[in-house]
Amino acid sequence: MARALYDIVRNADGWGVRHDGETTGEYVSKEAAFEAALPAASVAIKHGHEVVVRVTEQHLGESADGLEPEHPELTRIWNIKRTLP
């Protein structure tokens, strides 16, 4: 089974989605980038791939949207695995 990996990463314009070595998107928050990755991840699941959507942790004092401090030590990783019959 092939694996489709989507990394939510910080870029010069805010947040983006890195997949197959290419980063796309200019999202204002990490959550917006995550939501943008889900349709492509869903298609990969339908094709029988293992899907990993990985969200990087913030730096100390940085929040996902730049407004409020969050817990920077937390890294959220969502693994979605599904095997079609």
pLDDT in tens, 23-71: 999 999 999 999 999 999 999 999 999 999 998 765 544 555 554 444 4
> What pLDDT score was predicted for residue 28?
92
Q: Is residue 30 part of a domain?
A: no
The pTM (predicted TM-score) of the whole model is: 0.66
Beta strands in the chain (DSSP E): 3-11, 14-19, 22-27, 50-55, 77-80
How many domains in the chain?
A: 1
- Phi and psi (nearest 5°) for 16? -140, 175
Q: Is residue 28 part of a domain?
A: no
Q: Is residue 48 part of a domain?
A: yes
Residues 73, 6: Cα–Cα separation, whole Å:
20
Domain span including residue 74: 1-15+35-85
Q: Is residue 4 part of a domain?
A: yes
